[in-house]
Chain A
Amino acid sequence: MTPEFKGLLLAAVVKIVVVFSVINVGVMLIIWQERRQSAFVQDRRGPNRVGPFGLLQSVADGVKNFMKEETYPAAADRILFLLAPVMAFIPAMLGFAVIPFASPWPGFDFAMPVLGRFVSAGVVPMVMADLPVGFLFVLAITSIGVYGIVLAGWSSNSKYAFLGGLRAGAQMISYEIAMGMSLIAVIILVGNVTLSEVIGRQQDSMWFIFPLLIGFFIFMVSAFAETNRLPFDLPETESELVAGYHTEYSSMKFSMFFIAEYSNMITASALMAALFFGGWDIPFTTWDEGDPSVVKSLVTMVVFGLKTWLFLSLFIQIRWTLPRFRFDQLMHLGWKFLLPLALGYIMMIATTVWALDALGVAFGIRYALVLFGANIVLSYGLFWVLDRDRLFGGSRPGNKRRIA
């Protein structure tokens, strides 16, 4: 093996191990945070017994789940029933692979006693795989995740699980479209789909939350639906479907769905941070964009973690803020509101970008501010003029309700 190949291998293995363990520990902590935050919203205290502040609660739950009996419904399809949690779990873990989580690590060149010399080819990008397909990979992988849920629903041979699985399938398809459409605006601005490119573009101008405000709104709503979080957790609606697609699952198999849901949340949050909030970029400074150094990598990693965590907290807070949608309302929102909105938005962004390019404005802060202005105008139209009742065929007296 050449030292370069060994260097590549070492970097890849270390990144994979670190990211995988960080995600899993993160899932553990975010479950704890969810329970604590839920409790705080309800003026309770939440789990605070196991370990300091109850931090080890998830570990205790994990041990409990390993100990519990595995139940198999008599009429279940054994093979698919076993396969489903795995099929939900693996894509959830894979999605993070293309998300850059820190500024590049400086190149290394060192020798170890037995293993020999390790050389990196230039700087090491802090992303598990900087695929040319970029964030499309995340969209593709998260869509695969729904197979696990649909199969879980079908193979359980229970009507509740089945309905939950169907709902998950329908919901995923509906919101995938709006999500993909909202990201086309990003592609228009960046001209590329790799996330390192996206982050670089944001450093050149400003975070895409400003020029793509509405796009972010669409993406966020779709991300809530994609990760089956409230107010869109129709696949598990405990008030109507017992526990939805994982009704028949017990012990660790249930835990795998649970972990998959939370790692999907982490991936979605990280994606939002990377696409619209500058990824690992530290605002108001260009220090992090200079020559790579270890300190920069570590600091930007922390910054990226913070941004991701903010979105995770928002996920949890929204859960206790909005009531669950009814299924027809969910479909209505997806197909009749978000999809047309996303399409119109692409038109608007494309037109503005075309006009700016025609005027010869160079890509930069001014460019982004113009787009931001266009977004403000559109959001004013959306949220204050059109608002709910006309968009949703709402309930203003004298208005014919348009929900069929």
Chain B
Amino acid sequence: MAIGVKIMQRPEGQLSYVRATVKGLALTVSHLFQRKVTMQYPEQKETADWKLSDRWRGTHRMLTDEQGRAKCVACGLCPQVCPANCIKLVAGEDEEGNRYPLIYDIDEFRCVFCGYCQEVCPEEAIHVGVDYENAEYQRERFVYDLERLCSQTHPVSTLWDPADPKGE
């Protein structure tokens, strides 16, 4: 023996190759008939024991009021709080003095999905959503404008579990 190889001291019953092989085969064959754990993704988005969390923070969604206008009042808190600096907001004002966003773009590429915008929003207008299927063919398409944000339909993220607000 060239190098000191550690020799395992195994109990008698574990020494046989044949017994080990037969036992192993029994195990692997039994697994052939066991329930498969793979989720068939595009057809099957959740299973009995797994579903996407309600607190999942995905692409944004802007809520609208009864007239179909964005709830946003262009207060400027979300671009202020955004750590990734991905929100572009240009505010406008109508004749009655109500502020509204002229431009409201979110660059989903820069976004880190921290959810601060949703947390800081006084009007509950901007939300991160429970959504992850957002592939696009062009990079430009990842800058979501106001119209696109308003037309998203996926559920919005709950920032915390209402039953357990302190995260206990």
> What is the interface of chain A, defined by CB distance below 8 A to chain B?
37, 39-45, 317-318, 320-322, 383, 387-389, 392, 394-397, 401, 403-404
CB distance from B151 to the nearest CB of A (A): 32
Q: Is the CB of B18 within 8 A of A383?
A: yes
Considering the chains assembled together, what is the distance between the CA atoms of A40 and B38 in angstroms?
A: 10
Q: Is the CB of B21 within 8 A of A322?
A: yes
Q: Is B133 in contact with chain A by the CB < 8 A criterion? A: no
Q: Is the CB of B29 within 8 A of A45?
A: no
> Which 5 residue pairs across A and B have the least CB separation, nearest first?
A321-B24, A45-B38, A383-B18, A40-B32, A389-B15
- Taking a contact as CB atoms closer than 8 A, the residue among A317, A321, A387, A395 that contacts B8 in the complex is A395
CB distance from B100 to the nearest CB of A (A): 47
> What is the interface of chain B, defined by CB distance below 8 A to chain A?
1, 7-10, 12, 15-18, 21, 24-25, 27-29, 31-32, 34-38, 40
- Taking a contact as CB atoms closer than 8 A, the residue among B8, B12, B32, B38 that contacts A41 in the complex is B32
A395: B residues at CB distance < 8 A: 7-10, 15
Q: Is the CB of B16 within 8 A of A387?
A: yes
CB distance from A377 to the nearest CB of B (A): 16
With A322-B21, A383-B18, A387-B15 as contacts: A401 and B40 at CB distance below 8 Å = no
Chain A residue nearest in CB terms to B7? A395
* Secondary structure type dominating chain B contacts: loop
Among B1, B8, B12, B36, residue most surrounded by chain A Cβ atoms (within 10 Å): B36
Q: Is the CB of B35 within 8 A of A317?
A: no
Considering the chains assembled together, what is the distance between the CA atoms of A401 and B18 in angstroms?
A: 19
Q: Is the CB of B15 within 8 A of A388?
A: yes
Q: Is the CB of A318 within 8 A of B25?
A: yes
Q: Is the CB of A388 within 8 A of B16?
A: yes
A321: B residues at CB distance < 8 A: 21, 24-25, 27-28
B29: A residues at CB distance < 8 A: 317
Chain A residue nearest in CB terms to B30? A41
With A37-B32, A41-B31, A387-B16 as contacts: A403 and B21 at CB distance below 8 Å = no
Q: Is the CB of B24 within 8 A of A44?
A: no
Q: Is the CB of A44 within 8 A of B10?
A: no
Q: Is the CB of B10 within 8 A of A317?
A: no
Considering the chains assembled together, what is the distance between the CA atoms of A42 and B38 in angstroms?
A: 10
A40: B residues at CB distance < 8 A: 31-32, 36
CB distance from B36 to the nearest CB of A (A): 5
Chain B residue nearest in CB terms to A217? B18
Q: Is the CB of B24 within 8 A of A322?
A: yes
Q: Is the CB of A44 within 8 A of B16?
A: no
Considering the chains assembled together, what is the distance between the CA atoms of A184 and B18 in angstroms?
A: 24
CB distance from A23 to the nearest CB of B (A): 26
Q: Is the CB of B37 within 8 A of A43?
A: yes
Q: Is the CB of A45 within 8 A of B36?
A: yes
Q: Is the CB of A396 within 8 A of B21?
A: no
Q: Is the CB of B9 within 8 A of A42?
A: no
B27: A residues at CB distance < 8 A: 321
CB distance from A266 to the nearest CB of B (A): 21
Considering the chains assembled together, what is the distance between the CA atoms of A388 and B12 in angstroms?
A: 10
A-B contact pairs, 26 of them (CB 8 A): A37-B32, A39-B36, A43-B34, A43-B37, A43-B38, A44-B36, A45-B36, A318-B21, A318-B25, A320-B28, A321-B21, A321-B24, A321-B27, A322-B21, A322-B24, A383-B16, A383-B18, A387-B15, A388-B15, A388-B17, A389-B15, A392-B17, A395-B10, A396-B12, A396-B15, A397-B9
Q: Is the CB of B28 within 8 A of A44?
A: no
- Taking a contact as CB atoms closer than 8 A, the residue among A45, A318, A394 that contacts B15 in the complex is A394
Q: Is the CB of A41 within 8 A of B37?
A: no
B1: A residues at CB distance < 8 A: 401, 403-404
Considering the chains assembled together, what is the distance between the CA atoms of A7 and B156 in angstroms?
A: 77
CB distance from A164 to the nearest CB of B (A): 22
Q: Is the CB of B9 within 8 A of A317?
A: no
Among B12, B32, B35, residue most surrounded by chain A Cβ atoms (within 10 Å): B32
Considering the chains assembled together, what is the distance between the CA atoms of A388 and B11 in angstroms?
A: 12
Q: Is the CB of A43 within 8 A of B40?
A: no
CB distance from B118 to the nearest CB of A (A): 37
A45: B residues at CB distance < 8 A: 36, 38, 40
B16: A residues at CB distance < 8 A: 383, 387-388
Q: Is the CB of A44 within 8 A of B38?
A: yes
B7: A residues at CB distance < 8 A: 395, 401
B12: A residues at CB distance < 8 A: 396
CB distance from A25 to the nearest CB of B (A): 24
A389: B residues at CB distance < 8 A: 15
B35: A residues at CB distance < 8 A: 43
Among B18, B21, B35, residue most surrounded by chain A Cβ atoms (within 10 Å): B18
